[in-house]
Amino acid sequence: MTPALNLRTIAIVALLAALLLLPVYSELVGNRFVLTLFTRIVILALAAVSLNLILGYGGMMSFGHAAYLGIGGYAVGMLAHEGIFSGFVQWPAALAASALFALVIGALSLRTRGVYFIMITLAFAQMAYYVCAGLARYGGDDGLTIYKRSEFVAPINLSNKVQFYYLCLALLLAAIYLVWRIVNSRFGLVIQGARSNDTRMGAIGFPTYRYKLVCFVIAGTLCGLAGALLANHTDFVSPATMYWTRSGDLIIMVVLGGMASPFGPLIGTVALLLLEEVLSGITEYWQIILGPLLLLVVLFARGGIDGLLKQLMAKVRS
């Protein structure tokens, strides 16, 4: 990540600046909706960053990543329902539950490869969906309303929308930095090697299974954090968050933005959610456009938006 002054760097810096100044803009223009929308974008970007770790860098195509959004959210929701509102209890619980789930699912799924892996992660996430939908005490299918946001110590007040936004943004940036460090560390190099040529890794002396499992758990835990944030944001948690098509949405965000690139997932989330907003303004049936668009991205712009920017830079340089 050389901080060269080129179009791509400028674009990313501009994006970050815009995100930082968003609440100011929202106040000035008097548009509350923008703040709500971008809080959601930032939270989902955190989820996408966590997915990119295993998908983009690790080559593990998990189609069940949305499960952690639900698990993190339900940890917060269930505890709140039982009268435990302290964030110091809820959030560690969300992280621990996500980590545990990732450990079990990962241990089983990583014994498989390719298509099997895709299907299995999908199926296990659905299992989580059905389990939560079957919990009548916690709302079942209808979901669970959260009457009070996670409580920390004053002056932190999550009900303050601006404060909450900045907290989410800070966590997102911290996550991007964390993932960047992990990916360039010895551990990250092993993960990338396993993505590139798993057999060779074994031959040169790496038992890749355990590394991939640890990576899987880290990604799941990070996404569980996003889940806790999301539950606070919507004051609500429902099994629908974990439905397998939501995992598909996350994958779209990662691929659209650019896999194996630190800011790719953020770019992708912003692009997708803004696109949704714009398109749904035009027509109610905007997914008819999004669907084929996705197919076209897959066929012609596999590197995502970040990839296109890089290609543009290469052309400009030559």
Contact positions vs other proteins (CB under 8 A): 61, 63, 108-109, 111-112, 114-116, 118-120, 122-124, 126-127, 130-137, 181-182, 184-190, 192-193, 196-197, 199-207, 211, 214, 243-245, 248, 251-252, 255, 285-288, 290-295, 297-299, 302
Lookup: tokens for 196: 């590139």
Q: In angstroms, what is the minimal distance from the CB of 10 to other proteins?
A: 25
Q: In angstroms, what is the minimal distance from the CB of 168 to other proteins?
A: 24
Q: In angstroms, what is the minimal distance from the CB of 111 to other proteins?
A: 5
Instruction: State which residue, 1 or 14, has the beta carbon closest to other proteins.
Output: 1
Give the whole-angstrom CA distance, residue 98 versus residue 76.
12
Cα angle 286-290-295, degrees, rounded to a multiple of 5: 155
CA 261 to chain centre: 14
Give the whole-angstrom CA distance, residue 55 versus residue 49.
10
Instruction: State which residue, 131 or 156, has the beta carbon closest to other proteins.
Output: 131
Give the whole-angstrom CA distance, residue 225 versus residue 219.
10
Closest CA to 223 of 210, 242, 209, 238: 242
Q: In angstroms, what is the minimal distance from the CB of 54 to other proteins?
A: 12
Instruction: State which residue, 91 or 243, has the beta carbon closest to other proteins.
Output: 243
Q: What single letter denotes the amino acid at residue 65? A: H
Instruction: State which residue, 89 or 240, has the beta carbon closest to other proteins.
Output: 240
Give the whole-angstrom CA distance, residue 120 versus residue 279.
33
Q: In angstroms, what is the minimal distance from the CB of 55 to other proteins?
A: 8
Closest CA to 256 of 4, 51, 112, 70: 51
HSE-CB of 180 using CA atoms within 13 angstroms: 12
Instruction: State which residue, 92 or 134, has the beta carbon closest to other proteins.
Output: 134
Q: In angstroms, what is the minimal distance from the CB of 218 to other proteins?
A: 8
- Between the alpha carbon of residue 256 and those of residues 122, 251, 281, the distances in Å are 20, 8, 21
Instruction: Fill in the DSSP letter of residue 59.
Output: -
Closest CA to 237 of 118, 74, 86, 115: 74
Q: In angstroms, what is the minimal distance from the CB of 135 to other proteins?
A: 6
